[in-house]
Amino acid sequence: MQPSDRRLANAIRALAMDAVEAANSGHPGMPMGMADAATALFTRHLKFDAADPHWPDRDRFILSAGHGSMLIYALLYLTGYERPTLEDIKRFRQLGSPTAGHPENFELPGVEVTTGPLGQGVAMAVGMAIAERHLNAVYGDDLVDHRTFVIAGDGDLMEGVNHEAVGLAGHLKLGRLIVLWDDNSITIDGSTELSRNEDVVARHKAAQWHTCECDGLDADDVDRAIKEALADPRPSLIRCRTIIGYGAPNKQGTAATHGAALGKEEVEAARAELGLEPEEFTVPDDVLTSWRAAGKRGGIEHALWKERLEGSSRREEFLHRINGTIHDGWLRPYVDKLLADLKPVATRKASEMALEAINAAIPATVGGSADLTGSNNTRTKNIEPLTAENYAGRYIYYGIREFGMAAAMNGMALHGGVIPYGGTFLVFTDYARPAIRLSALQNARVIYVMTHDSIGLGEDGPTHQPIEHLQSLRAMPQLDVYRPADAVETAECWALALTSQHPSILALTRQNVRPVRTAKAEENLCAHGAYRLKPAQNARKVIILATGSEVEIALGAAEKLEAQGVGTDVVSMPCTERFDAQPWDYREDILPDVSNREILRVSIEAGTTFGWERYVGLHGLKIGIDRFGVSAPAKDAYEHFGLTAGKVATRITDFMEKRGIQ
C-alpha cells in the first residue's frame, strides 16, 4: 500500500526537527508548516528528474523563505538527489557541509537560487519566469516549456521588493509563475497582526494576478489549488493556510517554532503526535521508497525531451546557449572601427555603440532599464521590447523598480540561456544593492549598466551624484566594478563583463570624454585592471592613477608636470579587482614598491578618496570628493572640486614641495 501524503510530509517534518535539534540552530517551524503543501507540489506537479538537476527544461523551484532551508534539503534528499546525503543533513549548518544555514545555489544543484534575504526569492523567480518565456519564444515548446514554483512566507510578501516583483510579473503576464504563500500568520515578533493589515490577496489581484486559497495542511486541497493555478493564464498566488511548526503539540502556531530548536521534550512529543519513528533521522522504508519514486517521476518526460533535443536542428545552438559560452569576436573589428574615427563621446554612449555590436553578435543578451532607457543608453536599435505579447523581444522596460530589476536579472542569469544587463543611475545602486550582493554571492553573470557616474552628471545635484558608491561597490567580494575612460576601454570592459563568471558593474559617464586610447593594442588592456597609459618622459617622479572621466584630467595634468621636468606616468585603472588579481611582477611594474619620496603616487577619482591609500600609500596624494556634490553644470562642478588638469598639476607640485620631494 502506498504511504499516505501525510506520512510523506511527516518525513520532512522529522528531518527538519532532527537537523535543527542536532545543530541546535535553524528554523523548524516553516518546513513543518509547509510539509504537506511541498509534498503535493513535489509528488504531483513539479517537473524534475532527481538524477539530473541540470536538465534545462526542469521546472524551477525556489524556496523564497530561505530560513526554512531544511524543507528543501529534506526534499532533495528524499527524492534522491545525489546531495545532500543523510550525512549532510546530520551536519546541517556545520562548516563544510552543503546544507548551509540558508540554501546556496553554489553548494547544491537542485537549489536554484540562494535565498534567505527575504523577498528576493520571489523577485528572482520572476526573472526565471521571464527567461523561460523568452527561451520558449525563441526555441519553442519542444525544448523549453516549464514553470517556476515558489514557496514564500509572510516576510517575503511584506518586503518592498515583493511589490516591485509582483507588479512586474503581473504586467508581463507571467502565467507560468506560481507562488505558494505560507500563510501562517506568524513572523519572528509574533502574530502578523502586530505589523500587517493589508489584504495580500487583493494586492496581488490588483496587480493582475490570479489568486486562490487552500488548506495548506491538506495535500489534496493544495493539489486542487495548484491545478486551478496551472489552468489560469495569469501568474498565481496560492494562499496556503498553515500552522507554523505543525505537529509540535505545545509550540505549533507560535513564533517559538520559527527559529530555534524545539527542544528534546517537544521533539519527543511531536514524534508521538505525528506517529514518527523513535530514532532520529529515520525515514520508514516505504516512505523513502515512495519519495524516491517521486524523484524519478520526471524521468520519462526527461528522456522524451532528450529525444526531441537530439532530433532538433538547433541542438548545438541551444546547448551553447544554455552553457553560456560567449565569444568576443565582435571586439576587435569594433575597436578597429572606433580607432578609425576617434571623437569625444560619453562612455554611456560608447556603451550603446558597443552594445550594437554585442547584441548583433550575441543573441543571449537581454537588456533593460529601470525607466532610464534614454539616459542609460541600454536599448540598441537592433532589439525589440520583451512584452507579454512578444516574449521573443530582448529589451525589458522594468519600470521604476531598481531592486526588482536587479533581482529579476539574477533569476534570469541563474535560469541560464540569458545574459541580462540592465541600467539605472550609479547613485541608485543603493536601491538595487541587496540584489547586487546576491549577484555576487551567487556568481550570477549580471551586467549592471550604471550611468551618470559622478558629479559630471551636473545639474541634478547631490541627490544624483554618486560619491561613496564606487568604493563601496569595490568593497563587495566577487563583483567587478569597471570605470572605463573612453570608448575603447568601454568596449574592452564590456567584453570582460560578458565573459566573466562574476557580476559586473559598468560605471559610465553622462558627459563626453575625449579618447585616451588612440593606438591599436594587441590585447584587451583593461583585462589587467590597470595599465600604463602614458609613460613618464622625464625621470619618473610621479605616478597618477585615475579612473573613467578623470583619466583625461590625469593626462592633462601630466602634460603640465612634464613641461616642468617632472616625469609622470599615467595609469588608467578601470577595474581595481582585476589589477589586484595580477601577478606580482605586473603590479610591481605598474606600481613599484618604493617610497613616496622617490616616486609620488597620486589617485584621481571624482568620488570619495576613502580607500585609495590602498594604491597611493598612506603618504600618497588622494584627489577626490569627500563630501556630497553640488547642483551645477558639470564643468562648474569639476572646477569647484578642483578636478581640472591645471588644479591637479598645481596640487601635485605643491604637495611635492611641502613634502620635500624632488
- Name the residues annotated as catalytic: 402
Within positions 182 to 201, which residues make up the interface with Mg ion, using CB under 5 A?
184, 186
SS3 assignment, position 534: strand
Which partner, Mg ion, ligand TPP, none, binds residue 29 by CB below 5 to 8 Å per kind? ligand TPP
Q: Under the criterion CB under 6 A, does residue 91 sit at the interface with ligand TPP?
A: no
How far apart are CB 185 and Mg ion at their closest, in Å? 7
How far apart are CB 188 and ligand TPP at their closest, in Å? 5
How far apart are CB 69 and ligand TPP at their closest, in Å? 11
Residue 179 DSSP class:
E
CA pair distance 568, 58, nearest whole angstrom = 58
CA pair distance 161, 121, nearest whole angstrom = 10
Question: Of how many residues is the chain composed?
Answer: 662
CA pair distance 297, 529, nearest whole angstrom = 49
Judged by beta carbon, residue 86 or residue 188, the one nearer Mg ion is 188
How far apart are CB 245 and ligand TPP at their closest, in Å? 9
By DSSP bridging, strand 395-397 and strand 419-425 are unpaired
C-alpha dihedral (134, 140, 142, 148), degrees to nearest 10: 20
Q: Under the criterion CB under 6 A, does residue 184 sit at the interface with ligand TPP?
A: yes
Cα 641-646-648 angle, rounded to 5 deg? 55
CB under 6 A: which stretch of 110-118, 455-463, 524-532, 647-655 binds ligand TPP?
A: 110-118
Q: Under the criterion CB under 6 A, does residue 298 sit at the interface with ligand TPP?
A: no
Answer left, alpha or beta for residue 185, where phi above 0 means left and psi between -120 and 50 means alpha. Answer: left
Q: Under the criterion CB under 6 A, does residue 70 sit at the interface with ligand TPP?
A: no
Burial (CB count within 10 angstroms: exposed 0-12, middle 13-18, buried 19+), residue 523: exposed
**In the set 118, 178, 546, 623, which binds ligand TPP (CB under 6 A)?**
118
CB under 6 A: which stretch of 61-69, 72-80, 222-230, 306-314 binds ligand TPP?
A: 61-69
CA pair distance 240, 662, nearest whole angstrom = 75
**In the set 155, 216, 367, 484, which binds ligand TPP (CB under 6 A)?**
155
Is the CB of residue 156 less than 8 Å from the CB of residue 212? no
How far apart are CB 152 and ligand TPP at their closest, in Å? 7
**Residue number of the CB atom closest to ligand TPP:** 153
Answer left, alpha or beta for residue 482, where phi above 0 means left and psi between -120 and 50 means alpha. Answer: beta
**In the set 244, 370, 599, 602, which binds ligand TPP (CB under 6 A)?**
244
Provide the 10 A C-beta neighbour count for residue 68: 31
Provide the 10 A C-beta neighbour count for residue 595: 10
Provide the 10 A C-beta neighbour count for residue 279: 9
**In the set 12, 22, 30, 621, which binds ligand TPP (CB under 6 A)?**
30
Number of residues this chain uses to bind Mg ion (CB under 5 A)? 4
For residue 351, which phi and psi values (nearest 5 degrees)? -65, -45
Which partner, ligand TPP, Mg ion, none, binds residue 67 by CB below 5 to 8 Å per kind? ligand TPP
Burial (CB count within 10 angstroms: exposed 0-12, middle 13-18, buried 19+), residue 11: buried
Cα 609-615-618 angle, rounded to 5 deg? 70
Within positions 111 to 170, which residues make up the interface with Mg ion, using CB under 5 A?
153-154
Which partner, Mg ion, ligand TPP, none, binds residue 574 by CB below 5 to 8 Å per kind? none
Which partner, ligand TPP, Mg ion, none, binds residue 117 by CB below 5 to 8 Å per kind? ligand TPP
Q: Under the criterion CB under 6 A, does residue 67 sit at the interface with ligand TPP?
A: yes
CA pair distance 251, 253, nearest whole angstrom = 6
SS3 assignment, position 210: strand
Which partner, ligand TPP, Mg ion, none, binds residue 295 by CB below 5 to 8 Å per kind? none
CA pair distance 393, 143, nearest whole angstrom = 18
Tell me the C-alpha to C-alpha distance, in Å, between residue 258 and each of 17, 190, 253, 268: 12, 10, 9, 18
Number of residues this chain uses to bind ligand TPP (CB under 6 A)? 19
Task: Answer whether the bond into residue 84 is a cis peptide, omega within 30°.
Answer: yes
**In the set 17, 65, 243, 606, which binds ligand TPP (CB under 6 A)?**
65
Within positions 12 to 71, which residues make up the interface with Mg ion, using CB under 5 A?
none
CA pair distance 512, 507, nearest whole angstrom = 14
How far apart are CB 150 and ligand TPP at their closest, in Å? 13
Which partner, Mg ion, ligand TPP, none, binds residue 167 by CB below 5 to 8 Å per kind? none
**In the set 251, 258, 321, 464, which binds ligand TPP (CB under 6 A)?**
258
Judged by beta carbon, residue 187 or residue 347, the one nearer ligand TPP is 187
CB under 6 A: which stretch of 179-187, 276-284, 330-338, 386-394 binds ligand TPP?
A: 179-187
Which partner, Mg ion, ligand TPP, none, binds residue 65 by CB below 5 to 8 Å per kind? ligand TPP
Tell me the C-alpha to C-alpha distance, in Å, between residue 446 and each of 125, 276, 437, 478, 638: 15, 45, 11, 12, 32
289 contact partners, CB below 8 Å, separation of at least 6: none
Is the CB of residue 225 less than 8 Å from the CB of residue 214? yes
Judged by beta carbon, residue 153 or residue 458, the one nearer Mg ion is 153
Tell me the C-alpha to C-alpha distance, in Å, between residue 56 and each of 136, 276, 291, 319, 421: 12, 37, 22, 9, 21
How far apart are CB 27 and ligand TPP at their closest, in Å? 6
Quickly tell me which residue has 512566507 as its cell: 153
CA-nearest of 222, 267, 276, 223 to 249 is 267
By DSSP bridging, strand 190-191 and strand 177-183 are unpaired
Judged by beta carbon, residue 102 or residue 445, the one nearer ligand TPP is 102
Judged by beta carbon, residue 117 or residue 423, the one nearer ligand TPP is 117
CA pair distance 530, 547, nearest whole angstrom = 9
Is the CB of residue 96 less than 8 Å from the CB of residue 107? no
**Residue number of the CB atom closest to Mg ion:** 154
CA-nearest of 414, 417, 423, 424 to 445 is 414
Judged by beta carbon, residue 186 or residue 346, the one nearer ligand TPP is 186
Which partner, Mg ion, ligand TPP, none, binds residue 28 by CB below 5 to 8 Å per kind? none
Judged by beta carbon, residue 187 or residue 454, the one nearer ligand TPP is 187
Judged by beta carbon, residue 241 or residue 433, the one nearer Mg ion is 241
Judged by beta carbon, residue 121 or residue 611, the one nearer ligand TPP is 121
CB under 6 A: which stretch of 151-159, 362-370, 388-396, 416-424 binds ligand TPP?
A: 151-159
CB under 6 A: which stretch of 130-138, 184-192, 425-433, 535-543 binds ligand TPP?
A: 184-192
Which partner, Mg ion, ligand TPP, none, binds residue 188 by CB below 5 to 8 Å per kind? ligand TPP
Judged by beta carbon, residue 258 or residue 394, the one nearer Mg ion is 258
Within positions 188 to 227, which residues make up the interface with ligand TPP, using CB under 6 A?
188
How far apart are CB 258 and Mg ion at their closest, in Å? 8
How far apart are CB 174 and ligand TPP at their closest, in Å? 22
Residues near ligand TPP (CB under 6 A) are 29-30, 65, 67-68, 116-118, 153-156, 182, 184, 186-188, 244, 258
Residues near Mg ion (CB under 5 A) are 153-154, 184, 186
